[in-house]
């Protein structure tokens, strides 16, 4: 099994810059996002990752590739659709202003509770379960460092689930900024894991204008 898991959010996209809900829209990194991925990769490569797993969406794929390309030991790069971002249904592609104009009651419900099934928003619990299941499967298959490249909400819910909490009821973990990462290690006491760092990034590197919408 792996000695540590690094949860790494993708670099910036134009939707991040514009404050739009991305969800499962397959938007690529912008120029800033590419630079972020390359800079962060230079730090993460020092951990000598053995395997890199990533969402099948382009922004995560490009971020993961920036790291895989400079791993001298030839880290294995695998794609898994279970690491896709949380689906935000009717809200995807819209800014806060547009959401308030078009879906005011549902938008308020979502911001107040984190859930809105009537708008087609995937539940936190479902996201946490699929991400955690994927990560733990890969954790058992490798030695050394496992890097998980995914999305703001997906990573948040997955981390919460692995830490033995309910993503639906416990919402105390801040979402990662673009190209920032968190580290989880196995631990002898319950819940069997310890979060040893959260939302780390490259000093002085521009991030998104808004934190992840978890």
- The active-site residue, picked from 31, 43, 81, 85, is 85
Alpha-carbon Rg for the chain, nearest whole angstrom, is: 16
Residue 206's pLDDT is 59
Q: How far is CA 133 from CA 98, 111, 123, 129, in A?
A: 35, 27, 16, 6
Instruction: Give me the residues of the chain with pLDDT under 70, please.
Output: 205-214
Report field, pTM of the whole predicted structure over 0.85: yes
Q: pLDDT tens, 177-203?
A: 999 999 999 999 999 999 999 999 998
Active-site residue flag, 140: no
- The active-site residue, picked from 10, 138, 151, 180, is 10
Residue 209's pLDDT is 47
Q: How far is CA 145 from CA 49, 138, 199, in A?
A: 5, 11, 18
Active-site residue flag, 31: no
Q: Is 56 left (phi over 0), alpha (psi -120 to 50) or beta?
A: alpha
Q: pLDDT tens, 15-39?
A: 999 999 999 999 999 999 999 999 9
Which structural domains are found in the chain, ordered by start? 4-86+125-200 (3.40.50.1240), 88-121 (no CATH)
């Amino acid at each position: 099994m792996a000695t540590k898991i690094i949860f790494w959010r993708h670099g910036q996209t134009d939707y991040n810059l514009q404050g739009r809900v991305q969800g499962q829209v397959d938007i690529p990194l912008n120029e800033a996002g590419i630079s972020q991925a390359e800079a962060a990769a230079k730090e993460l490569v020092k951990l000598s990752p053995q395997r890199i797993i990533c969402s099948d969406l382009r922004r995560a794929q490009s971020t993961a590739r920036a790291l895989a390309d400079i791993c001298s030991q030839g880290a294995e790069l695998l794609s898994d659709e279970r690491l896709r971002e949380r689906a935000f249904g009717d809200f995807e592609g819209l800014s806060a202003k547009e959401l308030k104009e078009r879906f005011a009651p549902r938008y308020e419900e979502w911001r107040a509770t984190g859930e809105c099934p009537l708008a087609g928003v995937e539940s936190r619990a479902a996201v946490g379960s699929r991400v955690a299941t994927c990560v733990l499967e890969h954790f058992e298959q490798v030695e050394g460092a496992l890097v998980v490249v995914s999305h703001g909400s997906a990573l948040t819910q997955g981390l919460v689930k692995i830490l033995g909490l309910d993503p639906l009821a416990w919402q105390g973990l801040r979402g990662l900024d673009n190209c920032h990462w968190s580290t989880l290690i196995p631990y002898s006491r319950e819940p069997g894991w310890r979060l040893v760092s959260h939302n780390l990034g490259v000093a002085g590197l521009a991030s998104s204008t808004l934190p992840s919408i978890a």
